[in-house]
Amino acid sequence: MAETPVTHPRLRLRLWLSGTVVAAVALAVLVVPPLVQLDQQAVDLSAKLRPPSWQHPFGTDHVGRDLLLRCVYGLRVSLLVGIVAALAATVVGTAVGAAAGALGGWADRLLMRLVDAFSSVPHLLLGIFIVAMFRPGVWPVVVSVALTHWLSTARIIRSEVLSQRSRPHIDAAVSGGASRWRVTVRHLLPAVLPQAGLAAVLMIPHAMWHESALSFLGLGLPTHQASLGGLVQSGRGSLLAGDWWPTLFPGLFLVVPTLAFAGLAGVWRDRLNPRRRSELTL
């Protein structure tokens, strides 16, 4: 007897590991900043670039600030951008995809050409253009990521709506006199919500990497504000002098949580519909 996706030992291990990492990340970003305040503009040149020790487990950066606290604060920014931008992008993508699939005809063609037009511009280039229109801060980065990451969700939701439209219960509702709006709200949208939720979870690590790329380029956030991409950028110059910790630890704080979110999304995808993994991968 074949094992279901959730009872498969390897997938169960991946679920446990990913869930543990995500829970630890959530606990860190929620508990540490209120308990340990960090002056992000403080400078202590006498303690700069100290290697990892009991006093500073991740060492210090180039101006003497504790790197562990800076990484936690930077991870909080990346998670905020990732989660909020993923939710916003999912709402936009779901609305566009559902409208295209439900309306069909010229509306479908127009909306899909809009999606194709946005897709023709590289995400990072469009994100840089959007961020440049605002003052430095977290929310311009959120807007930038959200407006450049709804395209895949729109395509997925449109495809699912078109599939649902051919189901017998939809034909029965239309034959019974239900309006297109009622069919969309009562039948089509509830049917695609699991796919929309999965798309949102899959988008969180993508959005975190996009925010880190913008921060690495020195865009979006003020230079003194901790960001994982900014920490990697500021620490890469120390590699030439043999100081590896200012680059390694911020990189791990970015890679490990994004892999954990991707692992949870993968388990959800396999449980939701194991036969259609390729369609639900962003």
The half-sphere exposure of 13 on its side-chain side, counting CA atoms within 13 A, is 2
User: Tokens at residue 244, please?
Assistant: 């590896």
pLDDT at 222: 78
pLDDT at 252: 92
pLDDT at 93: 92
Residues 6+ apart with CB under 8 A from 100: 107, 108, 111, 112, 154, 158, 161
pLDDT at 263: 86
Which residue stretches of the chain have pLDDT < 50?
1-5, 276-282
- pTM, entire model: 0.81
